Amino acid sequence: MSSSTAHNSSSTGELLEALKGHLWKGSLKQQLAALEHLGKLGESGYQVLMDFLLTAKEQAKPTIAAGRSLQILHQADNAKVADFLETDFSTGLLPSTVCQVDYGEVQTALIAQDFELADRLTLQKMCELAGPNAVKRKWLYFTEVNIFPDNDLRMLDQLWLIYSEGKFGFSKQREIWLGVGKDWERFWPKIAWKAGKIWTRYPGEFTWNLQAPVGHLPLTNQLRGVRVMDALMNHPAWSEQP
């Protein structure tokens, strides 16, 4: 082995160790930066991501970093990675076994970062949760939201959070809403659903990627006005965490 080859090998090893340190022990910002670097290193980087995901699975802790790891691996054109995903993560990070509705389609869309599809599927699944009348009309009454099981809302929220680098989800929207004193007219512009007196038009004026403001998604029937959103923000799922 030439001295330059040995040096390159040593540098790569040192880089991997540094990235692993950031991934396992760093802040979320450091984790996300490390993940992007690891995804560009090919086989060696993929192996670190797979090990990280297995550890998260063993600990039953589906974190934001684990969600981003899974997204990066799904983008990899690698047979070993494909086999790993099929064997260990065929249904994603979060199984919906504790819920009344199967959110697998939502999870698949979020893993692919197809946020527009995930948003449509989220409303569809919420209508399924509300019952056949809601499925037929394709939108929700606030009274139907009031009786949603806590587990289902938490599941949808967790799916959006872990696959959006922590930017989207009901709990993020609620955090912003509480931060403006529950003032809806201050809240809508914060999440870019309204500018002045003009509502954001669906779907073309919404931002379907991570460049959107925090809390921009999911839309949760935005065109129906405040009552559905108010029911979501006041649902006991957020105040009665297990």
Instruction: Give the tens place of pLDDT for each residue, 143-189.
Output: 999 999 999 999 999 999 999 999 999 999 999 999 999 999 999 99
Q: Domains, the chain, ranges and CATH?
A: 3-88 (1.25.40.620), 104-238 (1.10.10.1770)
In this prediction, residues 86-108 reach a mean pLDDT of: 92
Averaged confidence pLDDT in the chain: 92
Instruction: Give the tens place of pLDDT for each residue, 191-235.
Output: 999 999 999 999 999 999 999 999 999 997 655 579 999 999 999
pLDDT at res. 6: 40
Tokens read off for 98: 């504790």
Task: Check: CB of residue 179 under 8 Å from CB of residue 191.
Answer: no
102: left (phi > 0), else alpha (psi -120 to 50), else beta? beta
Bond preceding residue 149 cis, omega within 30 of 0: no
The reply to whether the predicted model has a pTM over 0.85 is yes
Q: Residue 195 and residue 219: Cα distance in Å, rounded?
A: 16
